[in-house]
Structure 1
Amino acid sequence: MSEEPLIQLEGITKTFGTGSAAFQALKGVDLTIDRGEFVAIMGPSGSGKSTTMNILGCLDTPTGGVFRFRGVEVQKLGRDQRSLLRRRYLGFVFQGFNLLARTTALENVELPLLYRGEKKSVRRDAAMHALEQVGLGPWASHTPAELSGGQQQRVAIARALATDPDVLLADEPTGNLDTERSVEIMELLVRLNGEGITVLMVTHEEEMAAFAKTIVHFRDGLVERTERGLRSAAARQEVPA
């Protein structure tokens, strides 16, 4: 018997507004994501990719259709239950880093654990481990102003990892970085994915999407097509048998 998909979207619709002002952002999206996948979501402005990511992140709810996460129908959950699911299973990385300027890297990474009510010693240990995962252990006491853009994004990724999530959702994670730093961040995401974390990423950069195992293209509120990530496929071919 095959393992149940981690995420399933079946006929997902999303309408904003009512009456003559109504706009249907999603028109029946079907998408299946297995555990351990690295999926890049692409598409022009207004294609529905960001709306889909908000639904996947339990930040918004669909108007219609079925959204299953680990077999649970998320669209039937209440606000508090969705919030618990988000805190327990999901980690978020944003284009703008969203770090607190006057606090250290370690304190920034601790924040989601603070919101969970974890003890200080537990927070410190988990945050330090997360910083070490992204190669920033020696920079734990530095503030964002003392870090490069790439290092700041690594801190943001460490913050998402601190809660030990099943899924990492990254919204344009390289959008504010130069090419060299962008490649570093993508290589980090590939490594984390190889360690078992499912990665879902929205990007408009084809070179960055190529690092994913699967690229899902959206257009006009629907999945237009899917393809394999070129760099991911090439890397697999280079691994000795």
Structure 2
Amino acid sequence: MNSATPLISLRGVTKRYGSGAAELMALKGIDLDIQAGEFVAISGPSGSGKSTVMNILGCLDTPSSGQYLFKGAHVEALSRDQRARLRRQYLGFVFQGFNLLARTSAQENVELPLLYRGDSASVRRVAATVALQSVGLGGWESHTPSELSGGQQQRVAIARAIVTQPDVVLADEPTGNLDTQRSHEIMGLLMALNRDHGITVLMVTHEPDMAAYARRMVMFVDGRIARDEINLHPATAAPPSLSPNEST
């Protein structure tokens, strides 16, 4: 790793659920640095702590102890509202289940983070159109999720994640609901966003062939980091098919 100040730094981070006999230590003293522009896959078996650490990194949860620094700011000391502002300003999220509003067009789904941020209608419209074009869905702005394939829905979700031009995209099992071909296309898209736009990508996955696309692989076991290594030969993907005839 280079010696630059990390974009993200965890120091001694723990997460405790419950108390007494019911206490569960989901994280047991995590130290982790992530540099701007990295593509990191976080993997591990069920219950390993990978989803817990992703929730903390995404400011959706807070550590029980330890420090979380984002651009040098102590996130663990922020209020709920301050963490929400950090999420809106710097982070984009992609989920396994797409999390699109069912009766809302692709355009309106992508505009949603900008609406929460208070941007004007004209700014939202232009930014969402550009984001949809960047994921190969130009011309599909008016389609609702039910009119899109799973792969296209995930592209809409990625467009929504990047419409705010975040520093970091956090992808939680982004290919979990897709077939093999669409999974590899989505990974190719995430790689392109990382490579061409410099977006830091943090991805949780239980699929080794998806983790293989990342340039760094962090394995969690029993609430600890068991392995943290550079992937010298990341997988590559053909450019995603942008055909409007993509099958479901």
TM band (smaller chain): over 0.9
2:214 equivalent in structure 1: 212
Matched, 1:198 2:226: no
C-alpha displacement of 1:227: 2.4
Name the CA distance, whole Å, in 2 between partners of 1:76 and 1:102: 38
Deviations 1:38-91 (A, max 9, x none): 000000011000000000000000011111100111111111111110110000
Cα 1:45–1:199 change in 2 (3 A) is same
Instruction: Give the alignment of 1:100-115 within 5 angstroms.
Output: 100-115=101-116
2:15 equivalent in structure 1: 14
Task: Give, as a single letter, the amino acid of the residue that structure 1 aligns with 2:219.
Answer: H
Deviations 1:182-217 (A, max 9, x none): 000000000000120000000000000000010100
Task: Using the aligned pairs only, state the percent identity.
Answer: 69
Q: Secondary structure at the match of 1:218?
A: strand
Contact 1:94–1:171, Cα closer than 8 Å, also in 2: yes
1:239 equivalent in structure 2: none
Q: Secondary structure at the match of 1:142?
A: coil
What is the TM-score normalised by the length of structure 1?
0.94
Contact 2:188–2:236, Cα closer than 8 Å, also in 1: no
C-alpha displacement of 1:231: 4.7
Contact 2:39–2:202, Cα closer than 8 Å, also in 1: yes
C-alpha displacement of 1:103: 1.3
Name the CA distance, whole Å, in 1 between partners of 2:10 and 2:214: 20
Contact 1:213–1:233, Cα closer than 8 Å, also in 2: no
Q: CA RMSD in A?
A: 1.5
Q: Secondary structure at the match of 2:234?
A: helix
Task: Give, as a single letter, the amino acid of the residue that structure 1 aligns with 2:73.
Answer: V
Cα 1:181–1:233 change in 2 (3 A) is closer
2:242 equivalent in structure 1: none
- For this pair of structures, how many residues does the alignment match? 235
Name the CA distance, whole Å, in 1 between partners of 2:6 and 2:117: 28
Moved over 4 A (4+): none
Task: Give, as a single letter, the amino acid of the residue that structure 2 aligns with 1:222.
Answer: R
Contact 1:210–1:230, Cα closer than 8 Å, also in 2: no
Task: Give, as a single letter, the amino acid of the residue that structure 1 aligns with 2:153.
Answer: Q
Name the CA distance, whole Å, in 2 between partners of 1:78 and 1:92: 20
Name the CA distance, whole Å, in 1 between partners of 2:211 and 2:235: 12
Name the CA distance, whole Å, in 2 between partners of 1:120 and 1:202: 33
C-alpha displacement of 1:3: 2.7
Cα 1:125–1:30 change in 2 (3 A) is same
Contact 2:213–2:236, Cα closer than 8 Å, also in 1: no
Q: Secondary structure at the match of 1:232?
A: coil
What is the TM-score normalised by the length of structure 2?
0.92
C-alpha displacement of 1:230: 5.8
Cα 1:128–1:230 change in 2 (3 A) is same
Task: Give, as a single letter, the amino acid of the residue that structure 1 aligns with 2:225.
Answer: V
Instruction: Give the alignment of 1:1-241 within 5 angstroms.
Output: 2-194=3-195, 195-229=197-231, 231-232=233-234
Name the CA distance, whole Å, in 2 between partners of 1:111 and 1:183: 27
C-alpha displacement of 1:233: 7.1
Name the CA distance, whole Å, in 1 between partners of 2:236 and 2:58: 30
Name the CA distance, whole Å, in 1 between partners of 2:184 and 2:214: 12
Q: Secondary structure at the match of 1:168?
A: strand
The answer to which structure has the higher helix fraction is: 1
Q: What are the ranges of 5 or more consecutive residues in structure 2 without an aligned counterpart?
A: 238-248
Name the CA distance, whole Å, in 1 between partners of 2:77 and 2:116: 25
Name the CA distance, whole Å, in 1 between partners of 2:13 and 2:3: 24
C-alpha displacement of 1:228: 2.9
Contact 2:59–2:83, Cα closer than 8 Å, also in 1: yes
